[in-house]
């Protein structure tokens, strides 16, 4: 009897695997990602994966390949997105997906990378705007006054502003046509923090922060700050930073006036995880994929 085993041509025989096929199977079975030196996955090889290597996600008929959706959302290049999928860092509707060619519906399915939801719908817009003083928080004004809409130019989308800024208040505004996200960001239930810099008369008492965080009685109820600090003292003026999740009208100005420090200039510097940074007054920018994901996380979406 030959020591070579059954003849591949004989009944029940199987052709021997090549060393490359065997090593590839061992790599997948152990869950290890492909080596960087090896060629990346090819989309036309998707159907060659074994059944035991496939997840239970049902492909959406006419859907878009998952790595293409990730790349379009700004996660990274197509090749990088394939690596994320192979490493088990991508979820669709709560299920980890490891198939490079999985077809999904970016309009309706929730896709996450490293736990953060990505903005997969191409029709949704997420903007940060640095509103100058003397501009109305509205898209148009029948009296011809400058508006946020004037700063954004002609846009086809109907954008919601996330929280109003007073006519003379400056700083960060978020605008989006994602109604669910906008609603939650403005709802006090979710406690999204907003931070402001305020120019006030000094001197500032040492216990002012404690008083503000304990709560101050206003005409429409008690209001309180979540954080407070003095940034700078300059003669008879002081620059203070105040953070709160309240959304009542003129709340920062009313709160500081109630403790004897009326505001002469007010700038909002952050909304949740999004910072104003060095964005110039009157200009806007598109939020990053990470910023949108962090906003989703902040309101439980």
Q: Which pLDDT does position 109 carry in this prediction? A: 96
Residues 40-74 have pLDDT tens digits of 444 444 443 443 356 778 899 999 999 999 999 99
Better-predicted residue by pLDDT, 185 or 163: 185
Which H, E and C letters describe the chain, residue by residue? CCCCCCCCCCCCCCCCCCHHHHHHHHHHHCCCCCCCCCCCCCHHHHHHCCHHHCCCCCCCCCCEEHHHHHHHCCCCCHHHHHHHHHCCCEEECCEECCCCCCEECCCCCCEEECCEECCCCCCCCEEEEEECCCCECCCCCCCCCCEHHHHHCCCCCCCEECCCCCCCCEEEEEEECCHHHHHHHHCHHHCCCEEEEEEEECCCCCCHHHHHHHCEEECCEEECCCEEEEEEEECCEEEEEEEECCCCCCHHHHHHHHCCCCCCEEEEEEECCEECCCCCCCCEEECCHHHHHHHHHHCCC
**Mean pLDDT, residues 1-29:** 42
Task: Decide if pLDDT at 105 tops 80.
Answer: yes
What is the pLDDT of the chain when averaged over all its residues?
Answer: 84
Please report which confidence band the pLDDT of residue 283 belongs to, taking 50, 70 and 90 as the band edges: very high
Task: Decide if pLDDT at 229 tops 60.
Answer: yes
Task: Decide if pLDDT at 198 tops 80.
Answer: yes
Report the predicted TM-score, pTM, of the whole model to 2 decimal places.
Answer: 0.78
Task: Decide if pLDDT at 24 tops 60.
Answer: no
Active site residue 166: yes
**Mean pLDDT, residues 194-213:** 95
Q: Which pLDDT does position 139 carry in this prediction? A: 85
Share above pLDDT 90 across residues of the chain, in percent, rounded to a whole number: 69
Residues 122-164 have pLDDT tens digits of 899 999 999 999 999 988 889 989 999 999 988 888 888 888 8
Least confident of 25-29, 152-156, 285-289: 25-29
Q: Which pLDDT does position 53 carry in this prediction? A: 56
Residues 240-262 have pLDDT tens digits of 999 999 888 899 999 999 999 99
| Catalytic residue chosen out of the listed positions 46, 141, 150, 166 | 166
């Amino acid at each position: 009897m030959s020591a070579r085993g059954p003849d591949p041509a004989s009944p029940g025989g199987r052709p021997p695997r090549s060393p490359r096929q065997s090593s590839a199977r061992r790599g997948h079975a152990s869950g290890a990602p492909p080596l960087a030196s090896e060629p990346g996955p090819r989309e036309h090889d998707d159907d060659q994966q074994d059944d035991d290597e496939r997840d239970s996600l049902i492909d959406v008929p006419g859907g878009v390949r998952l790595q293409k959706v990730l790349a379009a959302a700004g996660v990274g290049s197509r090749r990088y997105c394939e690596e994320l999928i192979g490493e088990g860092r991508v979820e669709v509707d709560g299920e980890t997906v490891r198939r490079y060619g999985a077809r999904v519906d970016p309009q309706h399915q929730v896709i996450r990378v490293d736990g953060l939801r990505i903005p997969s719908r191409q029709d949704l817009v997420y903007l940060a705007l640095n509103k100058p003083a003397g501009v109305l928080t509205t898209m148009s004004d029948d009296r011809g006054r400058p508006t946020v809409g004037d700063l954004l130019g002609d846009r086809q989308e109907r954008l919601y502003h996330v929280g109003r800024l007073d006519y003379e208040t400056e700083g960060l505004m978020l605008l989006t046509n994602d109604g669910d996200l906008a609603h939650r960001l403005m709802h006090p239930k979710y406690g999204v923090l907003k931070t402001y810099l305020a120019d006030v008369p000094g001197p500032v008492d040492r216990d002012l922060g404690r008083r503000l965080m304990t709560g101050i009685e206003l005409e429409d109820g008690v209001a309180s700050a979540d954080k407070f600090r003095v940034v700078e003292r300059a003669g008879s003026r002081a620059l203070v930073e105040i953070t709160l999740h309240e959304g009542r009208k003129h709340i920062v100005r009313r709160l500081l006036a109630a403790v004897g420090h009326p505001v002469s200039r007010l700038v909002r510097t952050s909304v949740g995880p999004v910072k104003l940074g060095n964005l110039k007054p009157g200009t806007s920018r598109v939020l990053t994929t990470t910023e949108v994901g962090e906003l989703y996380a902040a309101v439980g979406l």
